[in-house]
Structure 1
Amino acid sequence: MTVPHSSFWSSDRIKEEQSSRELISPFVGGFVKQSAYELALGSEVFITSEHTKRRLAPNEQISIPPGQFALLLTHEQLDIPNDVIGFISVRYTIKRKGLINVSGFHVDPGYCGRLKFAVYNAGSQNIVLSRGQRVFMIWFTNLTEPTSDPYQNKSTEQNEITAEDVMSLQGDVASPAALKDRIDSLQTEYDRRLSTMDDRVRQGLGALEDKIATRSKVATGLLVAFVVEFLILIIVLVVGFFFQRPTTIVVPEPKKDTPGIQQNSNTSQANNNRNSPG
């Protein structure tokens, strides 16, 4: 058994398949380019910064801020056969501005309905789109045989952005731009506090230097007074040493014996001799 070869469709093949079975509705042959079909932005969008979905009037514009997600509904409805798979992307002219497709890159065999593109603005500026603008692209390739488990959900949920879709993307998104602003704000606050702290440190050092200078002056004054008093004491001692009068010690001369005294002495000696026995 020969297995059919799987390959991507050319532009002519897309037009041929469209003429035999309705793949895309509405279909405009002029939007088949480089083996892909260009899909347009439809009537419903949801941007995380707006909290609820919007319905767009013809040619109405939307703006996706940096760092925000969005759900974009296509204008066209698709009816993918069971033996075909589609591959999707954002057009390069829009992708290069920073709009990234984060919802997946293929369309299942058997899928029927509009496509919901979940996108993220990774750029630094708002991305502006308008209803009816050619934003997306789809390529087709055939399978070797029809799949036995095609996509089964044929509900109308595929043709609108539902409340569940909105709730799945709700919440604050920390965009790079918002984070940059926050970092800049913190840097400014840090610089302010650092400057205030530096001023306080300088004031404290100035006060400390004043106290040290005052105490140094007091210590210097005390030292000078001590040195002066010490010098005065030295001077007084030196002057007293050189100019003090010496003390004269008078030694009395021995007295000479007089004749009367000598005679009395001799008489006393004679009397003593008489009185002595034998």
Structure 2
Amino acid sequence: MQATGFWSGETLKDRLETLITPFDPERVDCSAYTLTVGHEIYVSPNEAIQDPLSVTVKQLGDGEGFTIPPGQFAFLLTQEKIEVPNDALALISIKAKIKWRGLINVSGFHVDPGFRGRLIFSVYNAGPVTVHLRQGQQMFLIWFANLDKPTAFARNQPVQESFPPDLISGISGELQSLAGLNKKIKDLDQSLTDRVHSIEKEQTYYRFIAIIIVALIVAMITTWIRDGGISRAFAPHPTEFRSSPTPTTTATPIEPGNELPRTAPTPMTSTPPGK
């Protein structure tokens, strides 16, 4: 029966040269080995992306940086290829300095016996700020432990070189994270506040115009009253006291030669009584 237990740093240096490619003895950290970020990554889109469904796997150049926004998932592929023998089991994690930024490993914590290829780390940014990373950064840790004997149930699959085709489609599209929802709520609150302020300004403007109009009307009425407008309004109309016109005769002019003959007045005679 094989002795069980985690491999020491010395065992890692002796055995990992044939199990990890490329292998660097300087990356043995106590009883763990440090792995780096590879060239292939996927970061789920947030609300800042106009077309979330267009986001796909990204190929990084050497040392190229990338970010994982708050509340977003990411798939990270290791630069190194790993092989776990049939008589061992591996455990994986993220370095503490990176976990303190809020990045959580949600892909699982072990590697099956018989696995071969690059490891895929599924991470979630549970922190309040964006996490900045780069290709080649030392980010992951792996431990090896012996089984009591070689297992016949070891994993027997092709070498994993990149992300499986169906891996990305499962989380494509925008993810409604708490940070994203909080930002949307703040944006909506700011929009409503700006709208209320705009309406208040409009109301103040219209109230000012209404006051001016009322003041002008009052001034006009006051001037009209001062100038006797009420007396003129209630005084009788002049036509009510106008008398009927006196008929006038028009003298017809007499042409010369057409004058009427003048006659002497007939003397009055008295008749004697008895005549």
Residue 59 of structure 1: how far off its partner (Å): 0.5
SS of alignment partner, residue 179 of structure 1: helix
Structure 1 residue 18: deviation in Å?
A: 2.6
| Identity rate, percent | 40
Q: Report the residue type matching 1:169 in the other structure.
A: I
Q: TM-score under structure 2 normalisation?
A: 0.65
Paired letter, 1:64: I
Counterpart of 1:32 in structure 2 is 28
Q: Which one has the bigger helix percentage?
A: 1
1:45 is aligned to 2:47: no
Q: CA deviation at 1:172?
A: 1.5
Residue 9 of structure 2 is aligned with which of 8, 11, 15? Answer: 11
Q: Which runs of 5+ in 1 are unaligned?
A: 201-278
Measured in 1, the distance between the counterparts of 2:137 and 2:127 equals: 20
Query: What's the offset of the Cα at 1:193?
Result: 8.6
d(CA) in 1 for partners of 2:194 and 2:188? 10
Distance of 1:193 and 1:125 partners within structure 2:
30
Written as runs of structure 1 = structure 2, the 5 A alignment for 1:147-226 is 147-155=151-159, 158-188=160-190
- Confirm whether residue 111 of structure 1 aligns to residue 106 of structure 2: no
Q: Size of the alignment, in residue pairs?
A: 193
User: What is the CA deviation profile of residues 70-120 of structure 1, one whole-angstrom value per residue up to 9, with x for unaligned ones?
Assistant: 110000001110010000001111111011111110000000000010111
Q: Alignment partner for residue 60 of structure 1, among 60, 64, 85?
A: 64
Please give the alpha-carbon distance, in whole angstroms, between the structure 2 residues aligned to 1:45 and 1:28. Answer: 23
Q: Distance in 2 between matches of 1:163 and 1:81?
A: 26
Q: 2 CA distance for matches of 1:13 and 1:76?
A: 19
Q: Give the superposition deviation at 1:4.
A: 3.1
Distance in 2 (CA, whole Å) between partners of 1:165 and 1:6 is: 34
Could you tell me which residue of structure 2 aligns to residue 217 of structure 1?
Answer: none
Cα distance in 1 for residues equivalent to 2:183 and 2:120: 31
Query: In the alignment, which residue of structure 1 is the partner of 2:131?
Result: 127
Q: Take 1:147 and 1:4, find their aligned partners in 2: how far apart are those partners? A: 12
1:23 is displaced (CA, Å) by: 1.1
| 1:95-110 mapped onto 2 (5 Å cutoff) | 95-110=99-114
Corresponding residue for residue 234 of structure 1 = none
Q: Which runs of 5+ in 2 are unaligned?
A: 46-51, 204-275
Quick one: distance in 1 between partners of 2:139 and 2:16? 21
Decide which structure has the larger Cα Rg and report it.
Answer: 1
Task: Give the root-mean-square deviation of aligned CA atoms.
Answer: 2.2
Q: Could you tell me how far 1:128 is from its partner in structure 2?
A: 1.0
Q: Alpha-carbon deviation of 1:191?
A: 6.3
Taking the TM superposition and a 5 Å limit, the aligned residue runs for 1:134-145 are 134-145=138-149
